[in-house]
Amino acid sequence: MERLPNAKPVVKNHIKRTAKFQWGKILLDPRSSTNLIWTFPYLIEILWYGMLMGCKNLREVEDFSECYQERVPDTTLHDLSVKISPDPLRSLIVKEVKKALRNHELPKEEFPIRITAIDGKCISVSKLSVGDFSQKSECNGGVQYVNRVLRAVHVSNKTKLILGQREIHGKTNEMSDFIPFVKDLLKDYGNTNLLETISVDAGMISRDNAQFLVNEGLHYIMALKNPQKGLVVLGHELFKNRTVPNVETEGKANGKKYLRRLYRCEAPEYPDWPHLREFRRIEQKTTDKNEKVTFEERYFITSVSPNKLTDRQILQAIRMHWGIENNANWVTDVAWEEDDSPWCNRALVFVSLLRILAYNVLSRLKERRLRKKNDRERSWKGIMKLVNAVLLFMQVENASQELVPVFV
């Protein structure tokens, strides 16, 4: 029997613990009971493992199925995907996040407060509408449909698990779906402290959203831009004479040098924002490898008590929000090529939720289970290749013990 690459018993144990599901009990088989060739659990297992390995399309999943056990045509996988209700996957994502929390894979001690970032994301662009959440737009003289969602990511922890997703209706926007999405999150995670502080960018800042969070016992950190013009003017007024920052930090990343300065000020009384505690201004100077310098200036407001975080922790908290872009969204776009590889546009919600589940499994593996330095430095695609090798090894191992039925 072929040996595991150097081996990865850690990967094998992680897959058995977090990625082995009884699909026949989780999802409902939408097919008729006649003329069936493959069992439903086997077909879903093939789709699931294909996603876990980062397959770019259903043809690659078909190729994997031949190596894994029995070849399944991509057309069969496509026709099945469009018929499956995706809703049970939402519950499965929540269940697995809570399991990670119970297993101490999301330790709070990494940061004084828990922060969950909510942000919008495009999960595909299609030539045809694929549901109510397809937004029609003009592009190069033609028509295309942008399919967007809101996603929540727990960012105050290096594992950065995706907590959930809400599809944005094509006739609405992020602002309209924010409160319904948070209600869904509270229903799923209200008995945990994962939602202690909600961080959002300027597209979702509003008095109603802030008041809703406070009414639910949550705090907020919001990027400050128009249309909150009164708050923007007040923010500029508060800091116009400040020349000495509260703290200044330097760092390097991706070949660039960063100089960040934080200015903070207790919030004065402001109409309809009684919960507003602090204004923050962050200046960032970026120097690239060619010595080109760019400057950015951002303002933030928060209901978090000023003595809850130190100056350096405030800078860290702001950077954490961008973890939803630089980690979760970036990983799904680069490692899975989510924007360009929808697998099946007609099953876009099912596929996107399956991808979230796969991202969370691999994030727990990458950040919590792989301990050796060379393993921890593997790229996401490198980890996917490792998972591929382990899955095939496990299948050979199972086949040597018993014949696994894949046919009805």
Q: Name the helix (H) or strand (E) containing 24.
A: helix 23-26
> Within 10 A of 34 (CB to CB), how many other CB atoms are there?
5
pLDDT in tens, 387-406: 998 998 888 777 655 545 55
pLDDT at 1: 40
Question: In Å, what is the CA distance from 163 to each residue of 93, 127, 242, 260?
Answer: 7, 29, 39, 30
Query: Which domains can be identified in the chain, with CATH numbers?
Result: 9-86+345-399 (no CATH), 113-332 (3.90.350.10)
pLDDT at 337 over 50: yes
Cβ burial, residue 219 (10 Å; 0-12/13-18/19+): buried
pTM of the entire predicted model: 0.92
Q: What average pLDDT does this structure show over 273-287?
A: 96
Question: Which tokens sit at 127?
Answer: 């030539």
Place of tokens 């590889």: 341
Contact status, residue 260 vs residue 282, Cβ threshold 8 Å: yes
Separation CA 203–CA 184 (nearest Å): 20
pLDDT in tens, 176-197: 999 999 999 999 999 999 999 9
Identity of residue 124: S
Contact status, residue 393 vs residue 4, Cβ threshold 8 Å: yes
pLDDT at 2 over 50: no
The more confident residue out of 170 and 307 is 307
Separation CA 275–CA 182 (nearest Å): 19
Q: What average pLDDT does this structure show over 305-327?
A: 86
Mean residue pLDDT across the chain: 90
Contact status, residue 177 vs residue 106, Cβ threshold 8 Å: no
Q: What average pLDDT does this structure show over 53-72?
A: 94
pLDDT in tens, 126-157: 888 888 888 988 877 788 899 999 999 999 98
pLDDT at 6: 57
Of 46-50, 89-93, 339-343, 356-360, the poorest mean pLDDT is in 339-343
pLDDT tier, 408 (very low <50, low <70, confident <90, very high otherwise): very low
DSSP string for residues in 316-347: HHHHHHTHIIIIIIHHHHHTS-TTT--S-GGG
> Within 10 A of 28 (CB to CB), how many other CB atoms are there?
13
Beta-strand relationship, 115-126 and 197-200: parallel
Q: Could you say which DSSP state residue 365 is in?
A: I
pLDDT at 400: 58
Beta-strand relationship, 256-266 and 278-287: antiparallel
pLDDT at 36: 82
